[in-house]
Amino acid sequence: MSDYSTEEEQIAAIKNWWKNNGNALLIGIGFALIIVFGWKAYQNSVVESKTEASMLYQQMISAATTTDLSVPEEGSTVSYLAKELKNKFSDSEYAIYAAMFIAKENVADAKYDEAKNEFNWILDNTEDQRIVHIVNGRLARIYSIQGDNKTALTLLTATDPAFEASYQEIIGDIKIRSSEKQAAIDAYTKAYQLIKSNPQALPLLAVKLSNLGVDPETL
């Protein structure tokens, strides 16, 4: 038997239920719509942001490859685009790539302090441990060139095994600069042993060992 004996009772029950629950249901639907459309708007915003950042990065690379960066007037365009990327899209990979590019150019021009500023900006704006390791390695080389081997060495603790060999090689280079021959041999040996299964990565390291009187074939 039906819970409600007449059609009028059923309608009355529905109206009573709606009176007690209708507002909550509408509010719930409203929130659901806000979440759905808000998420879509956010996704569209992210796509547009990445597109704009990508376009700025391409413009920067194009300008860099068609101008003489050593000429202030010509290099200013590249610097401006890089700053735009860093200021407007600091959390994007394109801003990181822009800073890496500018740092590389600064190193080539022996503008080491400017390069360090770029690398430190990257460290402040990324959590990508691969990039962190790359940047620390490059910073270590700059500090060593500037004569601060102590600071350089503090940057060369690899928490990712993939970077252990390259860090050991940089340590070897620093030890050579410090005239610590045996320490350099030890570092180069560790690096060589870590990558000797990868022939493409060996030639330069083998030369460094040979120059120090070590036959790589014995390792």
Domain ranges in the chain are 127-219
What was the pLDDT predicted at 39?
45
DSSP, collapsed to helix, strand or coil, labels residue 62 as helix
Check pLDDT > 90 for residue 158: yes
Please name the residues in contact with 54: beta carbons below 8 A apart, sequence gap of 6 or more: 94
pTM across the whole model: 0.70
Which of 190, 184, 185, 137 is closest to 159 using CA atoms?
137
Check pLDDT > 70 for residue 210: yes
What was the pLDDT predicted at 117?
95
Instruction: Give CA angle at 158 (157, 159), nearest 5°.
Output: 115
What was the pLDDT predicted at 65?
74
User: How does residue 213 score in pLDDT terms, banded at 50, 70 and 90?
Assistant: very high
Check pLDDT > 80 for residue 4: no
Residues 79-104 have pLDDT tens digits of 888 888 888 888 788 889 889 888 98
Based on DSSP, count helices (H) and strands (E) in the chain, helices before strands.
9, 0
DSSP symbol at 5: S
Output the six-digit token pair for 30.
Answer: 């409203």
Most confident region among 30-39, 88-97, 146-155 by mean pLDDT? 146-155
Q: Which fold has domain 127-219?
A: 1.25.40
Burial-class residue 93 by CB neighbours within 10 Å (0-12, 13-18, 19+).
middle
Most confident region among 18-22, 50-54, 167-171 by mean pLDDT? 167-171
